[in-house]
A = this chain, B = another copy of it.
Amino acid sequence: MPRTRSVPPAPAAAVGPVRLGPGARAALRPAAAGIDAGFWHARREVNARTSIPQGPGLLESAGNLHNLRLAAGTAEGEFQGAYPFVDTDVYKWLEAAAWQLAQEADEELEAHVDRITRLVAAAQQPDGYLNTWFQLVKGGERYQDLRWGHELYCAGHLIQAAVAHHRATGRTELLDVAVRFADHIDSVFGPAGSGKPLDGIDGHPEIETALAELYRETGERRYLDLAAYFVDRHGHGLLGGDAYCQDRVPLREATNVEGHAVRQLYLLAAAADLATEAGDDELRTAAERLWQAMTTTKTHVTGGLGAHHDKEDFGDPYELPNERAYCETCAAIASVQWSWRMALLTGEARYSDLIERTLYNGFLAGVSLDGERWLYVNPLQVRDGHTDPGGDQSARRTRWFRCACCPPNVMRLLASLEHYLASTDDGGLQIHQYVTGRYRGDGITVGCATEYPWNGTIALTVEETPDEGPWTLSLRIPQWCRDVRVRCGEESYDGPVTDGWLRLERTWAVGDRVVLELGLEPRLTAADPRVDAVRGCVAIERGPLVYCLEQADHPGGGLDDIVVDTTGPLGVKHRPDLLGGVTTVVAAGRRQRIRDAGWWPYTPYLPQGTSPADPTPGSPDSEPVELTAIPYYAWANREDGSMRVWLPTS
């Protein structure tokens, strides 16, 4: 009796990000998955065939590699780039390439990685320090500007890349560089009285998660302790007490997320790491509290985070503007990283609910369908008559940015995406996200075939199972889903969904099939009334996808005068020709005639039910128009024009 049947190899679990260390106190352990076809496979193919391969050329033309050569003394010229953190573009690309190499051999890519790794190693100073901006522009003056210098932030991304490179390839060249840098940092930073020369933190968190990962990779506890030190020194005024630098209040006391969104989220991911690896329950409680506050009061419907352009700030509770939503692509990525750590730590499904929403919407909008152009900010509305200033904060996709943090960040998440999909525990396997491919826990492999998110049918097959005893296959039922059906073999199952999980406990045999049907009826969504920006509006959603209107689908006018008819039916139309193949939602709407108020747009309030339209006799106050909504992630892939997610209802 064979224990397993032959199945395609799934990547080893140890190859992805967030591999738990010994003694980790997590409810769940990360499991790997393979993505073989379907929605995410297509996006990852573009990432693998276009985005990642174009990286070295872009890093060359933007000067990042040139800076490393300058620091190594093997080239001459001026430092290129306007920011002290330009090295991180290189490191994030290396991390993306490493995760990609974990999936398939690629000699050309490997050669680039080796070449760039050598560049990085050559630029490192003898004592382990490495930052081309400070080495070249600041005359080697280190740690004098922790508020803005980004030296530890850069170190963090180098360490993350090195961990990925080591996990993916088993090679140590980059890890050696990272360990030298980490040891250098450990020799410099520490609390007063520790004998270390500097009691300080970096204005931009990132070193903290990186050190936790380096601990996991090397087993060296010092790195985790250093991460804990950095996390806890935030919020005590070392950098002047700004929320921007995560320095206004300690995480343990904070009541809501605040300040620069990406900085806050990277710091919270580290808090989750410390709760997991060091058993710090107070940090766990703080992270749970802040996640809840964030999702309840500071998250856009797309999962996008960050309401202010100014200082890239979270903004106030319920301050969630549409056209000025910042929703930096990097913040979506950081949110996924934090939420995944919370999902493992707690075992709660809601964290993966937010991951799903973010991946399909706020994150994926950051990269064009062809993988060549990017959005740094992800607004929920572009108005008729929008005058785009261009640049990093443009509402038009851009080939590369002056501050190019987002593109390689997208690349690394897409290249490691299969590690955010499933988990395992002593009782079985948990599937967090549905893809065509396979999930692999300890001695368990479950295959999956689905056209999700276009189709709600998810067909699961047990491909490998331990010989004896029951185990539980846990399926996350998305928070948005109101209609769930499941069949195990021929029998339908209507067991309860508990805290977001449908748990199927039984003695499984290879070949057992489970078919999950998630109802994908399109729906209209309203916001908490305190979200002033969308009062009187609805969003169209279907499954995990948030939809939007684009001007390209509505010829003959803009979008600012469009109203959706909430009483009309919502139709669904799959359009294989459109935007790489999308299911559109068709709704009834109208173009509303707007009364000309002369030069002043504020007029006496007319009681409810009174139309604001022009009452000119004989003129209709609106004309019907069929609205075609496309998935938000696919916007800004055609000609420039207006866009909106939230649609007025009157």
Contacts and interface: CB of A to CB of B under 8 A. Distances in A.
Interface stretch (A27-35, A138-146, A197-205, A384-392): A384-392
B297 A601 contact: yes
B560 A385 contact: no
B387 A529 contact: no
Contacts of A243: 387, 389
B538 A535 contact: no
Given A387-B258, A612-B526, A535 B601 contact: no
Interface in A376-411: 381, 383-387, 389, 393
B527 A601 contact: yes
Interface string A329-343: 000000000000000
Given A308-B309, A537-B535, A605-B524, A530 B612 contact: no
- Give the oligomeric copy count: 2
Interface centre among A322, A393, A528, by most chain B C-beta atoms within 10 angstroms, is A528
Nearest to A563: B529
A433 interface: no
A78 interface: no
A648 to B, nearest CB: 6
A608 interface: yes
A385 to B, nearest CB: 5
A400 to B, nearest CB: 20
Interface residues of A, number: 74
Given A301-B602, A602-B539, A604-B523, A592 B529 contact: yes
Interface in A561-598: 561, 566-567, 592, 594, 597
Given A316-B323, A317-B383, A389-B243, A603 B530 contact: no
Contact of A607 (B256, B323, B566, B646): B566
A319 interface: yes
Contact of A322 (B323, B530, B532, B538): B532
Contacts of A308: 309, 324
Given A321-B324, A528-B601, 18 more contacts: A296-B597, A296-B599, A296-B600, A310-B310, A310-B393, A316-B386, A318-B383, A319-B323, A319-B324, A479-B600, A482-B604, A523-B605, A524-B605, A527-B602, A528-B603, A529-B561, A539-B602, A566-B608
12 contacts: A256-B385, A309-B309, A310-B310, A317-B384, A319-B324, A321-B324, A526-B606, A527-B602, A528-B597, A530-B560, A532-B646, A566-B608
Counting from the closest, the 5 A-B pairs by CB-CB distance are: A528-B601, A524-B605, A536-B536, A309-B310, A535-B536
